[in-house]
Structure 1
Amino acid sequence: MSLIEMQNVDVRLGGHQALSHVDLAINKGEIVTIVGPNGSGKTTLLRTLIGALKPSRGTVKRSKGVRIGYVPQSLSIDATLPLTVRRFLCLPHRHSTQAMDDALHHAGANGLQDRQMTDLSGGQFQRVLLARALLKKPDLLVLDEPTTGLDQPGSAALYRQIEQVRQDLGSAILMVSHELHVVMSASDRVICLNGHVCCHGAPETVASAPEYRALFGTGTQGALALYRHDHDHHHHSHAEESHEHGACNHA
């Protein structure tokens, strides 16, 4: 069974139809990325999956006992509030020093325990948010545009760290991103969303689909090979298998 599955889901927000007829399943250990234009319902989809929003129609099924870690798009912290990384990780629940150190290690944030949250760089802040999500030892890690505000090297480094999390902890990854060049090559599957799922499949399948190109043009085609060397044979095989099941549609 999938870790989590959406079946024929509609979501209405304030009288607006944000999502229509969405079918989606996330399986153990895979990296799935959602792309789409502004206002296409990407964040709404994530919030519905984790249970923060209720669908107006359809069902969301989670496998029994599945642990989900969520990394929000942004988080505001009062600059006048003294808050170390260690104290931040203990909100709202206290954790052992070992658990926090392990989470920071897997997030690539070693040595930040005693730093003030407001003194962190953008990349360090995102890694601490990632560590906080990893404290749950998630079966599924959900990230909403985790590299917002980071420069290109910082973004690439964070995506490599996310891939390392999958490798080390076996977590499935579901993320929303606007950085098509990196994402298309770092994912096992890509879902193109525009209020509905208009395209899904292996990166190569989606990048060549007319529905995808209508939204984003053809700019990612030449970049697909850039990060392929980061993937081991298993990931190649997974992508090739997914490629066979790619699909694109207008409805």
Structure 2
Amino acid sequence: MTPLVSAEHLCVSRGGTEVLHDVSLSIRKGEIVTIIGPNGSGKSTLLRALLGLVPAGHGRVTRLPGLRIGYVPQSLQIDRSLPMTARRFLSLPTRQTRAATDAMLARVGVPEVAERPLTGLSGGQMQRVLLARALLTEPELLMLDEPTQGLDQPGEAAFYRLIEDVRRETGAAVLMVSHDLHVVMSASDRVICLNGHVCCEGTPRVVSNAPEYRALFGLGTQGALALYQHAHDHDHTHDHAHGHPHHDTHHHHDPA
């Protein structure tokens, strides 16, 4: 299967310092790939390079011709002197009908924010509005940069569940940068550990047992990667940010 996007021996420098060195990866149709790594490891730079927003010093990035990408940035700087409603934001840069924006806001679980100014939204509401804007492009690849940063565990669990639903319903591939070194959603097909270069990659269970992962991220979870699990795997009343989908993988509840 031809990758939707791939990097081959990618090197990227910023301010004279090499941020990414010899990074090779590919994202294929329908898969969920999570990138984890410490601060300064080049995670956001990698996403921006795959999008073509920063140039490669060496190597190359290849995107499938005509590939539709939806991008959810890490944050959005909002000018508070220029109030803009969520509905208006969803029509930038491509104008959307009222019906389309209403339907998408309902799809991501925040139909009530349509006429609210962006500056008045909570962190969780803002992340869902950013996701709605990305989904309006009907992406084949959804790229998210630390989308749950700042959310509490129930909010993080709910957002992960929404992303899994989007993948199931639309078939879009998902490339997500995680803010948490020790927790990824169990639906990830692959996890890539990044620290300027690719330290290790594989299924969540393989990565959790990789010596490169333990060496890089320490023993905060007894050296193992925790997996987010759906609330509905147990019941429909509580969100569990961490779970035990694999009996042969160790898990740990990080303090909130």
Query: Residue 92 of structure 2 corresponds to which residue in structure 1?
Result: 91
Asked whether the equivalents of residues 208 and 225 of structure 2 are also in contact (C-alpha less than 8 Å), the reply is no
Asked whether the equivalents of residues 184 and 190 of structure 1 are also in contact (C-alpha less than 8 Å), the reply is no
Write 1 or 2 for the structure with the bigger share of helix: 1
Once the two structures are superposed, the pairs formed by residues 44-63 of structure 1 within 5 Å of their partners are 44-63=45-64
Distance 1:225 1:78 in 2: 35
Distance 1:195 1:225 in 2: 25
Structure 1's 33 and 225: CA in aligned 2 closer, same or farther, altered over 3 A?
closer
Distance 2:42 2:168 in 1: 29
Query: Residue 36 of structure 1 corresponds to which residue in structure 2?
Result: 37
- TM superposition shift of 1:140: 0.4
Query: Residue 143 of structure 2 corresponds to which residue in structure 1?
Result: 142
* TM superposition outliers: structure 1 runs of 4+ over 6 Å: none
Query: Residue 239 of structure 2 corresponds to which residue in structure 1?
Result: none
Which residue type is aligned with residue 221 of structure 1?
A: A
- Pair 1:152-2:124 in alignment: no
Q: Mean alpha-carbon deviation: is it higher for 103-112 or for 11-20?
A: 103-112
Equivalenced residues, count: 231
Query: Residue 11 of structure 1 corresponds to which residue in structure 2?
Result: 12
Distance 2:158 2:142 in 1: 17
Q: Could you list the per-position Cα deviations for residues 32-81 of structure 1 after superposition, in whole angstroms to 9, with x for gaps in the alignment?
A: 00000111110010000011011011111111211001111001212232
Once the two structures are superposed, the pairs formed by residues 56-135 of structure 1 within 5 Å of their partners are 56-135=57-136
Distance 1:22 1:154 in 2: 32
Specify every segment of 5 or more residues in structure 2 that has no aligned partner in the other structure, as ranges.
234-256
- Pair 1:221-2:217 in alignment: no
Alpha carbon RMSD of aligned pairs, Å?
A: 2.0
Query: Residue 242 of structure 1 corresponds to which residue in structure 2?
Result: none
Q: Could you list the per-position Cα deviations for residues 149-182 of structure 1 after superposition, in whole angstroms to 9, with x for gaps in the alignment?
A: 1111111111111111111111110010122454
Which residue type is aligned with residue 224 of structure 1?
A: L
Query: Residue 247 of structure 1 corresponds to which residue in structure 2?
Result: none
Give the TM-score taking structure 1 as reference length: 0.86
Distance 2:97 2:140 in 1: 20
Distance 1:2 1:173 in 2: 13
Asked whether the equivalents of residues 31 and 172 of structure 1 are also in contact (C-alpha less than 8 Å), the reply is yes
Distance 1:26 1:153 in 2: 28
Which residue type is aligned with residue 9 of structure 1?
A: L
Specify every segment of 5 or more residues in structure 1 that has no aligned partner in the other structure, as ranges.
231-251
Query: Residue 248 of structure 1 corresponds to which residue in structure 2?
Result: none
Distance 1:228 1:7 in 2: 38
Name the SS for the 1:221 alignment partner: coil
